[in-house]
Amino acid sequence: MRCSNAVAGRARAAEAFIVDPSWSAYRPVLRGVIAAVLPFDAAGFPPITLDDVEQRLLKLFPIEDEIQFAGLQRTIAFFDEISLFPLMSGPLLQEESNVRDLAARGGDSARIGAEIAAADAAAFAAFAATIKPNARFRDLSIEARRTYLGLWRDSASIVKREFFGSLRNLVMITTWSMDATWPSIGYAGPLVQRTAIGS
């Protein structure tokens, strides 16, 4: 049974990274990240909605339309599969080896992967006990989503921490690029106003 679970987990991880997900497969995840990162219900938060942020994000970062975002699409799909979080194999381990520059610096990729998996599994265990089996990120409450994001932020994996930072930065860059958010941070807008082309 343990062997079967290990193979199934790795197969699901491989599928998440190989299969090109559809917009419907990762849009709910992206919306869930926006909702978890931004305190929409906090007093004094700018008068913007989740839809406003999503539309602006897709205008700034055309994730669905440009091939350069294919890797991000796949990683968002992987992120949605909560039970895969402790795994550290395949493309994820290869990327970790690249980030750590193991080819030049030396190091045992398999050992490092096992150490990361053990540390992340220990951190994941307490969280997993609070959610339904096989739940996805999109299915979680807002507080559970924030806790799950925290697992990525604090992961033993550099790649997972970087992915968390990338997701958060996408949301924050998008949010603070919106005119409606500027008054809340005392920003009066650009000194040089944009002019229409040809004027």
Residues 160-168, mean pLDDT to the nearest whole number: 96
CA distance 88 to 85: 8
Q: What is the DSSP code (8-state) at residue 63?
A: T
Share of the chain above pLDDT 70, in %: 86
CA distance 48 to 59: 16
- 54 and 26 in contact (C-beta within 8 Å)? no
Share of the chain above pLDDT 90, in %: 65
Lowest model confidence (mean pLDDT) among 16-25, 117-126, 160-169: 16-25
Task: Answer with the residue of higher pLDDT: 180 or 7.
Answer: 180
Task: Answer with the residue of higher pLDDT: 92 or 175.
Answer: 175
Identify the burial level of 91 via C-beta atoms within 10 angstroms of its C-beta, where 0-12 means exposed, 13-18 middle and 19 or more buried.
Answer: middle
Task: Answer with the residue of higher pLDDT: 182 or 23.
Answer: 182
Q: What pLDDT is stored for residue 23 in this prediction?
A: 73
pLDDT of 176 strictly over 90:
yes
| Cα torsion 37, 41, 47, 48: sign | positive
Helices 158-176, 23-37: inter-axial angle, 10-degree rounding = 80
CA distance 153 to 167: 10
Where do the structural domains in the chain lie, given as residue ranges? 2-178
pLDDT of 150 strictly over 60:
yes
pLDDT in tens, 76-130: 989 999 999 999 888 889 999 999 999 999 889 999 999 999 999 999 999 999 9
Distances (CA, A) of 100 to 13, 93, 152, 193: 21, 10, 17, 44
pLDDT of 75 strictly over 80:
yes
Cβ contacts of residue 17 below 8 Å, gap of 6+? Answer: 74, 75, 78, 90, 91, 92
